[in-house]
């Protein structure tokens, strides 16, 4: 069985025909999910109501954002302005995409991490030691007109629905960036202005049911290399966030998004806000779909700590050197989700 199973490109095409996890997916004992030890009660991540941002309580919301970014690196948002219908259609078309016959899906397959539209599996099949129980379609989506013609044309509504979703989420991100910028004590356009022409990518992640979910990951613990990630998940749990030495399960709440800081926010904020380890676990009976939007600087943007947050006299020197985002992004993919963060390679040299 295994020989034919491993000749498949995508995990979704072996999942239904195996009753155990093929050996390349099996993690060493010290690096398994330990599903029984996960914190599921108590300390979840903060929920912020964005409706209040546009009224007299703006300062209070900004304070909540500051607290969430500094203490968790993650928060949930409701009343975020992305229409329920837009979200529903996006989730439906993602599910339809992954339910297409293998022959239709693999047309988009590529292991080349530089391709701007590609279907692949695991994380980086070229450089990783263990495979992850995930297939994903990755899309660049800013500006949409530069990339939409590369996107899948099947299902028929895919391009239209995804473009509408990407546009709507981008508007939300720009609101969030203003709030985050203010929460750092900066002018509200400060963070946005450091991003050059801006970049926006999306992933449609598909995690099929797994016969032995305690042996493998959908994605192992990692930090996001980008600026900010806005995650849409279906109703199946799988996301876990690392906080105070424990993995906390973040259960899906309908019509909310999960927002997390990426490495570039840690750099720009000069370590005030941290990019946080998170991972995806799988389960034996339900498929799971999650759709992260990764917002980032454009590849030619120069990223470094914001000048106003550096103060040599008051013990807050620049923690990072300035660099071109392309240099960072390339290192991230080459390292195949090495647990230690890529960010340490960009620290300012101590004089």
Q: From first to last of the 351 residues of the chain, give the pLDDT tens digit.
A: 343 445 788 999 999 889 999 999 999 998 999 877 776 655 689 999 999 999 999 999 999 999 999 999 999 999 999 999 999 999 999 999 999 999 999 999 998 888 999 998 877 666 678 889 999 999 999 999 999 999 999 999 999 999 999 999 999 999 999 999 999 999 999 999 999 999 999 999 999 999 999 999 999 999 999 999 999 999 999 999 999 988 999 999 999 999 999 999 999 999 999 999 999 999 999 999 999 999 999 999 999 999 999 987 677 899 999 999 999 988 876 665 555 568 888 998 765
Encoding tokens for residue 69?
């970014």
* Angle value at C-alpha 202, between 201 and 207, nearest 5 degrees: 145
Residue 99 within any structural domain of the chain:
yes
Q: Cα(20)–Cα(185) distance, rounded to whole angstroms?
A: 52
Residue 96 within any structural domain of the chain:
yes
Q: Cα(232)–Cα(206) distance, rounded to whole angstroms?
A: 13
Q: Cα(113)–Cα(124) distance, rounded to whole angstroms?
A: 8
Residue 1 within any structural domain of the chain:
no
Domain holding 192, by residue range, is 11-346
User: So what's the pLDDT on residue 43?
Assistant: 60
Number of domains in the chain: 1
User: So what's the pLDDT on residue 51?
Assistant: 96
* Prediction pTM value: 0.93
Residue 252 within any structural domain of the chain:
yes
Q: Cα(332)–Cα(328) distance, rounded to whole angstroms?
A: 6
User: So what's the pLDDT on residue 204?
Assistant: 98
Encoding tokens for residue 38?
């996960």
The number of CA neighbours under 13 Å toward the Cβ of 148 is 15
Strand partners, 202: 139, 293
DSSP assignment string, 215-279: S--SEEEE--SSSEEEEEE-SS--EEEEETTEEEE----TT-EEEEE-HHHHHHTTTSS----EE
User: So what's the pLDDT on residue 320?
Assistant: 96
Residue 3 within any structural domain of the chain:
no
Residue 262 within any structural domain of the chain:
yes
Residue 5 within any structural domain of the chain:
no
Secondary structure, 3-state, 74-110:
EEEEECCCCCHHHHHHHHHHHHHHHCCCHHHHHHHEC
CATH code of the domain containing 242: 2.60.120.330
Of 115, 98, 184, 132, the closest CA to residue 21 belongs to: 132
Residue 156 within any structural domain of the chain:
yes
Q: Cα(46)–Cα(199) distance, rounded to whole angstroms?
A: 27
């Amino acid at each position: 069985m295994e020989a034919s199973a491993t000749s498949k490109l995508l995990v979704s095409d072996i999942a239904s025909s195996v009753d155990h996890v093929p050996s390349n997916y099996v993690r060493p004992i010290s690096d398994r999910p330990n599903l029984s030890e996960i914190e599921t009660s108590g300390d979840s991540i903060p929920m912020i109501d964005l409706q209040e941002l546009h009224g007299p309580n703006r300062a209070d919301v900004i304070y909540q954002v500051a607290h969430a970014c500094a203490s968790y690196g993650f928060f949930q948002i409701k009343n975020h302005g992305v229409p329920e219908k837009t979200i529903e259609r996006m989730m439906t078309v993602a599910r339809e995409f992954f339910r297409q016959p293998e022959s239709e899906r693999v047309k988009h397959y590529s292991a080349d991490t530089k391709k701007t539209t590609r279907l692949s599996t695991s994380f980086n099949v070229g450089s990783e030691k263990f495979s992850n129980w995930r297939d994903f379609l990755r899309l660049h989506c800013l500006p949409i007109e530069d990339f939409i013609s590369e996107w899948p044309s099947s299902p028929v509504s895919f391009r239209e629905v995804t473009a509408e979703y990407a546009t709507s989420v981008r508007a939300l991100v720009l609101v969030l960036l203003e709030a985050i910028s203010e929460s750092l004590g900066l002018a509200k356009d400060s963070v946005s202005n450091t991003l050059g022409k801006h970049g926006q990518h999306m992933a449609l992640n598909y995690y099929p049911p797994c016969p032995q979910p305690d042996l493998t990951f959908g994605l192992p613990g990692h930090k996001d290399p980008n600026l900010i990630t806005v995650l849409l998940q279906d109703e199946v749990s799988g996301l876990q966030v690392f906080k105070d030495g424990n993995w906390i399960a973040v259960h899906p709440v309908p019509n909310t998004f999960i927002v997390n800081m990426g490495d570039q926010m840690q750099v720009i904020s000069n370590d005030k806000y941290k990019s946080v380890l998170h991972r995806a676990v799988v389960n034996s009976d339900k498929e799971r779909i999650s759709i992260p939007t990764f917002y980032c600087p454009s590849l030619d943007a120069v990223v470094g700590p914001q000048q106003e947050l550096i103060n040599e006299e008051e013990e807050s020197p620049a923690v990072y050197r300035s660099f071109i985002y392309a240099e960072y992004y390339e290192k991230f993919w080459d390292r195949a989700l090495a647990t230690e963060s890529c960010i340490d390679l960009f620290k300012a040299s101590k004089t």
